[in-house]
Amino acid sequence: MTAHSPRTALITGATAGFGRAAARRFVDAGWQVVATGRRADRLDALRAELGDAVHAACFDIRDEVAMRAALDALPERFRGIDLLVNNAGLAQGTKPAQAALLSDWKTMIDTNITALVTLTHALLPQLVARKGAIINISSVAGVYPYPGGNTYGGSKAFVSHFSLGLRSDLHGTGVRVTTIEPGMAETEFTVVRTHGDQAASDTLYTGANPMTAEDIAESIFWVATLPQHLNINRLEIMPTSQSVAGFQVHRE
Ligand code: NDP
Ligand code: 8X3
C-alpha cells in the first residue's frame, strides 16, 4: 500500500443493517470496501450505489470453502485488508431455552462464532503484516442475560471475550482490536430473529426510539479512524430509552 492508496475494509453482513450502513460510511470517507453477504441482489445494489470502491463477495459465511474461494478471488486492489469488521450475525428465536429449537442454536453458533473465528484466522497474517484492525460486533446480550437470550447471548459473550483474547495475543503487533456491544437498534435483526414476523419487529421498535444502523456505522467508523496509538477495547452503546433491569425472583 502506498501512502496514497485507499485503505480497505472487509465488512461482513453488508447487505443490510449495520454492515450496509458501515459500507456506505467507509466508502463516503474514501475507503475501499469488500462487502459480503448471501443476498446477491443486495450486494449488486450496493455496488451500483457506491461504485468501484466496493467489491461484492457473495457467500454464506458458514461455508468455509465458499469463504476461502471468495478471499482467493479478491481482485488485486482489494487484496490488502486493513480493517476486518466481523458484523454478519443473527439471533434466532426468542423462546426460553427449554422451548427453543436446537437448529436455531446451531445456526447462531455456526454464524456468530464459527464463521467469525474462521474468517479472522484467515485474515490475521495480513492484518498483522499491515498493522491493521479488527472490529467485532458483539451485543449487550453478551454482557447482560435476559429471558430468551440463551444461545444468542452466549455467542456474543464469546465474541466479546474472543476479542479480548485476540488483543492479548496481538500485543506488540500494532493490530488494534475492538468489540462493539450495541443494544437495541432497528434493522432487519428482529424480522430475522422471529423468522419473518414484521409485525413483531414493528411492535418492538415502535415508540422506543431505537438506535439506527447509521448510529452504529458511525461508531464503527470512529473506532477505525482513531489515531493508531489508541485502541478502544470495548464500546457498549444503547439508545437512551433502554437500560438494564435487575434480577428476577420466583416464589412458591
Ligand atoms: P441485519 O439482519 O439487518 O443484518 C445482518 C447481516 O448479517 C446481513 O447482511 C446478513 O446478510 C448477514 N448474515 C447473516 N447470516 C449470514 C450468513 N449465514 N452468511 C452471510 N451473511 C450473513 O442485522 P443487524 O445489522 O442488526 O446485525 C448485524 C450484527 O449486529 C449482528 O452480528 C447482530 O447480532 C449484531 N447486533 C444487532 C443489534 C440490533 O439490535 N440490531 C444489537 C447488537 C448486536 P445476508 O442475509 O444477505 O446473508
Ligand atoms: C441485539 C440486542 O438486546 O435484542 O443484539 O439482544 S438485543
Q: Pick the catalytic residue: 144, 146, 152, 205?
A: 152
Q: Which of 220, 194, 217, 219 is nearest to 205 (CA)?
A: 194
In angstroms, the CA 48 to CA 63 distance is 26
Does 224 fall in a domain?
yes
Does 110 fall in a domain?
yes
Query: 2 pLDDT exceeds 60?
Result: no
CB-ligand 2 contact for 183 (6 Å cutoff):
yes
pLDDT above 90 as % of the chain = 98
Quick one: which ligand is closest to 219's CA? 1
Does 72 fall in a domain?
yes
Q: What is the DSSP string of 108-174?
A: HIIIIIIIHHHHHHHHHHHHHHTT-EEEEE--GGGTS--TT-HHHHHHHHHHHHHHHHHHHHTTTTT
Nearest CA to ligand 2 atom 6: 141
- What per-residue confidence (pLDDT) applies to 175? 98
Check if the beta carbon of residue 216 is closer than 8 Å to that of residue 223.
no
Quick one: average pLDDT of 100-116? 99
Band the pLDDT of 1: cuts 50, 70, 90. very low
- What per-residue confidence (pLDDT) applies to 5? 81
Which neighbouring-strand residues pair with 36? 57
How much distance in Å is there from the Cα of 149 to the middle of ligand 2? 8
Nearest-5° Cα angle at 234, 231 to 237: 125
CATH number assigned to the domain comprising residue 141: 3.40.50.720
Does 51 fall in a domain?
yes
Query: 123 pLDDT exceeds 60?
Result: yes
Does 251 fall in a domain?
no
Does 127 fall in a domain?
yes
Q: Give, for ligand 2, the residue of 136, 138, 152, 242 to mutate: max count of ligand atoms closer than 8 Å to Cβ.
A: 152
Calculate the CA 23 to chain-centre distance.
Answer: 12
Number of domains in the chain: 1
Does 249 fall in a domain?
no
- What per-residue confidence (pLDDT) applies to 209? 98
Does 2 fall in a domain?
no
- What per-residue confidence (pLDDT) applies to 246? 82
pLDDT tens column, 127-184? 999 999 999 999 999 999 999 999 999 999 999 999 999 999 999 999 999 999 999 9
> Model's pTM, two decimal places?
0.98
Q: Which residues line ligand 1 (CB under 6 A)?
A: 13-19, 37-39, 42, 60-62, 87-90, 111, 137, 139, 182, 184-185, 187-189, 192
- 210: domain range? 8-237
Quick one: average pLDDT of 208-214? 98
Query: Nearest 5°: phi and psi at 214?
Result: -70, -35
Quick one: average pLDDT of 57-82? 98
Query: 4 pLDDT exceeds 80?
Result: no
152 in active site? yes
Band the pLDDT of 59: cuts 50, 70, 90. very high
